[in-house]
Structure 1
């Protein structure tokens, strides 16, 4: 079942654009791991926050991706930019009016 992870990542003051640049680097690996969508955005009203929405083939695929060496390295690179303030939600997709099934 399709799994969605949507969240916010708080950054240290003035480090938001660095995190956006890191998170938006081209990755041919993510689709191989089961990620079908990974969107990164910002809001002018929240200058130290990055918004991320991910769609995965399953919650298990998402969890397994976090153990991949390349993903682990990217997380380690991002960690010094983060303030430790996180938010968001996760859910299994039940359906959509945009497609059958």
Structure 2
């Protein structure tokens, strides 16, 4: 089974980036006990006041899909939706590197 990755750029509604980032950081904290989530990083670029980037690596695409059915995940999505103007996401196949469990 190969690893699954995703790079997502969330465009927050004007003035809502920090609120959205905090919701995503809470989601990241909730994933600490999920073994199949190997990496979940929330970042903001200094050049875009509305963007929040999320980088994820999972043991498999099935593990990622399963995480979306967790009650905490569903609640975070519902809280975040009204703050989001758009999402660009790219699914990736992580090959390796520092921080990736082989």
Scaled by the length of structure 1, the TM-score of the pair is: 0.84
Quote the RMSD (CA, aligned, Å): 2.0
Provide the secondary structure at the position in 2 that maps to 1:72: helix
**Structure 2 residue 23 is matched with structure 1 residue 22:** yes
The 8 Å contact of residues 41 and 52 in structure 1, kept in 2 or not, is answered as yes
> Structure 1: 5+ residue runs without aligned partners?
none
Greater radius of gyration (CA) = 1
| Structure with the higher strand share, 1 or 2 | 1
Contact 1:35 1:56 in 2 (8 A): yes
- TM value normalised by structure 2: 0.83
**Mind listing any 5+ residue stretches in structure 2 that lack a counterpart?**
none
Which residue does the alignment assign to 1:32? 34
- Residues 30 and 72, structure 2, Cα contact 8 Å, conserved in 1: no
Number of paired residues?
A: 98
